[in-house]
């Protein structure tokens, strides 16, 4: 009875959305400059995409599937507003569908902006490195950033911002690190630990009960010359469901992620079913932008991922409209967009054309006037990022509705 009721509600939601609401799931404000007729996923291998939609349908209807979505980007994704909007929609569209926050880097440790939904506080000093800064030394992992412990001891408290994130619990924490001389102790300060597992550069804590906050202590035990690097964390639930991993670093371009030595090893922890690429706004910023080089860098990253996960799906979100140095509209968006379409065709991918959906060339000014974009005419405001998430998920639901119509 529960399964039938869940499916019935989901079925009614999808088709009522398609017939009446024209947007999901809240009545977000409509804007005349946004071209909703272009808000769709352009699929270049329907059979492959239908297989993924089948997994989503199975999970949303019956449960039992582990589905992992990774969203790569720069500052748009580090802010975690757009990506968190997607996370909430994927996980809350049907009951008991979330399986945790997923991969997370505590950017506050390295004095950068972090997610407003999962926050941290800490003591002790850390030194930060980002894959987007050319003079920052490697190595980097999947999350594109690294924090090196400077003090002999530090405690980090991770806690959910309950004002914005309800039912955001976890009962497993994977702590991704590198201890050069194996002389640091990693301790979970909570009392509810069932077991601890250690493997190569990872310590996993399994909790007795779900929680929305933990405190982890890292302490140097002996040799002061040893280095301790933190590459990030993963927060999970032991039930099946969807994880939406947001992986973004301010200023990151495609070559930034090619610098990440441990990216492929740590990607095995995630086992992605869908990779969303929103990398390109930084690549195409300068007049020296080379589309051929942009294609080759993207192609290398994609081939690396496909070598381990040949059935993974790729969605490319085109660059938003923007200005160069706040003075002139950046027409290199057209060349970057062409490359994304070529990549999607050559790798059986999908394109979500944010550039034309938001209004096309010089529409960033309209977004700014409407309070959706910042005065730098590159980044969105919180309101704008939420709207981007609304529009992106609407396009996904349109595709899902098509799947239901085809498959019953």
Q: What is the chain's Cα-based Rg? A: 21
Q: What would the mean pLDDT of 32-44 be, rounded to a whole number?
A: 97
- 90 lies in the same domain as 159: no
Contact 375, 322 (CB under 8 A): no
DSSP state, residue 204: E
Range of the domain at 134: 100-238
CA distance 105 to 144: 9
- 80 lies in the same domain as 105: no
- 201 lies in the same domain as 215: yes
CA distance 179 to 53: 41
pLDDT given for residue 94 in this prediction: 81
Q: Among 109-123, 152-166, 302-316, 346-360, where is mean pLDDT lowest?
A: 152-166
Does residue 318 register a pLDDT over 50? yes
- 279 lies in the same domain as 352: yes
What is the domain-level CATH number for residue 404? 3.40.50.1110
Rounded to 5 degrees, what angle do the CA atoms 182, 185, 188 make? 140
Provide the sign of the torsion angle of the four alpha carbons 148, 150, 153, 158, taken in this order. negative
Does residue 197 register a pLDDT over 90? yes
CA distance 186 to 188: 7
Percent of the chain at pLDDT > 90 equals 82
Does residue 306 register a pLDDT over 80? yes
DSSP state, residue 122: E
- 266 lies in the same domain as 401: yes
Residue that is last in its domain, among 204, 238, 272: 238
- 88 lies in the same domain as 229: no
- 262 lies in the same domain as 389: yes
- 57 lies in the same domain as 75: yes
- 43 lies in the same domain as 106: no
Where are the extended beta strands (E) located within 180-267?
Answer: 184-188, 193-199, 202-211, 213-220, 228-236, 241-248
Residue that is last in its domain, among 238, 257, 273: 238
| HSE-CB of 93 using CA atoms within 13 angstroms | 30
pLDDT given for residue 233 in this prediction: 98
Where are the extended beta strands (E) located within 307-402?
Answer: 313-317, 323-324, 328-329, 350-352
Residue that is last in its domain, among 238, 271, 305: 238
**Model pTM?**
0.94
- 408 lies in the same domain as 259: yes
- 230 lies in the same domain as 253: no
Domain total in the chain? 2
Q: Phi-psi bin for 271: left (phi > 0), alpha (psi -120 to 50), beta? A: left
- Give the pLDDT confidence of 57-100 residue by residue, as tens digits: 999 988 888 999 999 999 999 999 999 999 999 998 887 688 89
Q: What would the mean pLDDT of 268-295 be, rounded to a whole number?
A: 97
Q: Which residue has the higher pLDDT, 113 or 23?
A: 113
């Amino acid at each position: 009875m529960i399964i039938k009721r869940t499916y019935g509600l989901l079925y009614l939601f999808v088709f009522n959305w398609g017939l009446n609401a024209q947007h999901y799931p809240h009545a977000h404000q409509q804007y005349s400059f946004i071209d909703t007729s272009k808000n769709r996923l352009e699929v270049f291998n329907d059979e492959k995409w239908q297989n993924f939609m089948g997994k989503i349908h199975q999970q949303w209807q019956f449960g039992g599937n582990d589905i992992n979505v990774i969203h790569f980007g720069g500052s748009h994704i580090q802010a975690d507003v757009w990506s968190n909007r997607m996370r909430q929609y994927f996980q809350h569209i049907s009951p008991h569908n979330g399986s945790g926050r997923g991969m997370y880097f505590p950017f506050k440790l390295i004095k950068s902006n972090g997610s407003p939904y999962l926050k941290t506080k800490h003591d002790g000093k850390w030194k930060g490195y980002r894959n987007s800064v050319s003079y920052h030394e490697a190595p980097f992992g999947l999350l594109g950033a690294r924090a090196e412990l400077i003090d002999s001891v530090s405690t980090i408290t991770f806690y959910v911002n309950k004002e914005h994130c309800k039912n955001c619990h976890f009962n497993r924490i994977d702590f991704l690190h590198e201890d050069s001389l194996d002389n640091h102790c990693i301790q979970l300060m909570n009392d509810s630990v069932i077991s601890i597992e250690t493997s190569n550069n990872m310590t996993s804590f399994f909790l007795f009960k779900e929680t929305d906050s933990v405190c982890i202590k890292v302490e140097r035990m002996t040799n002061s010359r040893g280095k301790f690097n933190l590459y990030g964390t993963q927060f999970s639930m032991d039930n099946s469901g969807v994880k939406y991993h947001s992986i973004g670093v301010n200023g990151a371009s495609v070559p930034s992620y090619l610098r990440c030595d441990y990216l492929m090893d740590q990607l095995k922890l995630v086992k992605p079913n869908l990779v969303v690429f929103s990398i390109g706004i930084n690549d195409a910023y300068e007049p020296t932008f080379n589309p051929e080089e942009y294609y080759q860098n993207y192609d290398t990253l994609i081939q690396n991922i496909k070598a381990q996960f040949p059935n993974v799906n790729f969605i490319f979100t085109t660059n938003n409209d923007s200005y160069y140095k706040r003075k002139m509209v950046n027409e290199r968006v057209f060349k970057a967009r062409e490359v994304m379409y070529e990549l999607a065709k050559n790798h059986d991918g999908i394109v979500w054309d944010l550039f034309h959906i938001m209004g096309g060339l010089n529409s960033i000014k309209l977004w700014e006037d409407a309070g959706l974009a910042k005065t730098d005419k590159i980044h969105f405001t919180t309101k704008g990022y939420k709207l981007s998430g609304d529009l992106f998920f609407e396009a996904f639901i349109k595709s899902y509705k098509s799947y239901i119509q085809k498959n019953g």
